[in-house]
Amino acid sequence: MIVIAGATGFVGGHLTHHLLSRGERIKSFARSDQSAQVLSNKGIEVIRGDITVKETLHKTLDADDFVIHLVGIIEEKGSATFRSIHVDGTAAFIKEAQRARVRHFFYQSALGADLNSWSGYLRTKAEAEEIVRNSGLQYTIFRPSLIIGPWDGFTKKLIDMLKISPVIPMPGEGAARFQPIFIKDWLRCIDKVIAEPGQYNSIFEIGGPEHISYKEIVTILAKAAGYQKRLFQIPMGIMKLATSLFSMLPVAAPITSDQLKLLETDNIGNLNAVKEFFGFQPVRYEEAIKSFI
């Protein structure tokens, strides 16, 4: 049985559709009645549980389970902090997996995960990796770069911005480089792990075949979506000041200070990792965007 935590998110939604289409049996955790109904309607067996509430996890896993842990956040809201979700939630989930002695545990981390990172997001992802690695279980950890595809939040935010703005706002110079990977290529990678888990007991960087700047990403996306607008650079100092002011208001900022700093930092890895470990060449960003935008 394949058991998924985080099945209603972007990656989880694509993964469940993919697995169901080939006849796999799936169980998935659901935190709310609404999520449970959505999953049940797809033909997924629902487990009412939440990895941040350890009492709801007891005896939910079995020894034959292949567990896929996709739960994560990119922005802290209220009690949903990086530590409560990435670290405490993973620790509780691993404890149940250890009790059941599951056959394999997959964890979705992030490219750039580092115990010494300035980013709370990347630091807690690295802490979660340590919990998985030290669990004594057979495991696979993916460190993906930016994952793009239908419904992805990053592309949606950019498209929403392009719709309403007379220009394309560019924080700073937009020089930070990323390594976007298409969701269909991510699925091809995890297919390999599910088929031969024993061959993938390690940490793998998952990225596309190019290092591409934020400026290039926005420019390619605007062209593919049919928007002919000029770039308008906003000094990073002004962006940081605006973000600080937003943090004092009772409204959600369009971008957090952590996310802003990520736009100044390269998030790249080995260009040949997917081909080397999974045996195929992932598609380039422009090709991926044109296929779904």
Name the pLDDT band for 251 (thresholds 50, 70, 90): very low
Residue 236 has pLDDT above 70, yes or no: no
Q: Which residues, at least 6 apart from 22, have a Cβ–Cβ distance to it below 8 Å? A: none
Residue 191 has pLDDT above 80, yes or no: yes
Degrees, nearest 5: CA angle 105-108-111: 135
11-43 pLDDT, tens digit each: 999 999 999 999 999 999 998 889 999 999 999
Contact 29, 47 (CB under 8 A): yes
131-177 pLDDT, tens digit each: 999 999 999 999 999 999 999 999 998 898 888 888 887 877 888 89
pTM: 0.91
Name the pLDDT band for 247 (thresholds 50, 70, 90): low
- Torsion of Cα atoms, 259 then 70 then 278 then 135, to 10°: 110
Residue 283 has pLDDT above 70, yes or no: yes
| Segment 48-60 mean pLDDT | 93
Contact 11, 189 (CB under 8 A): no
Residue 249 has pLDDT above 70, yes or no: no
What are all long-range contacts of 91-94, with beta carbons under 8 Å and residues at least 24 apart? 91/131, 92/51, 92/52, 92/53, 92/54, 92/57, 93/5, 93/51, 93/57, 93/67, 93/69, 94/131, 94/132, 94/135, 94/137
Least confident of 75-84, 206-215, 222-231, 240-249: 240-249
Distance CA 189, CA 167 (A): 37
Residue 257 has pLDDT above 80, yes or no: no
The β-bridge relationship of strands 2-5 and 26-30 is parallel
Distance CA 138, CA 202 (A): 9
Q: Which residue has the higher pLDDT, 78 or 17?
A: 17
- For 128-147, b/e burial (b = at least 16 CB within 10 A) is bbebbeebebbbbbbbbbbb
Domains defined along the chain, listed by start: 2-144 (3.40.50.720)
C-beta neighbour count of 112 within 10 angstroms? 20
198-220 pLDDT, tens digit each: 999 999 999 999 999 999 999 99
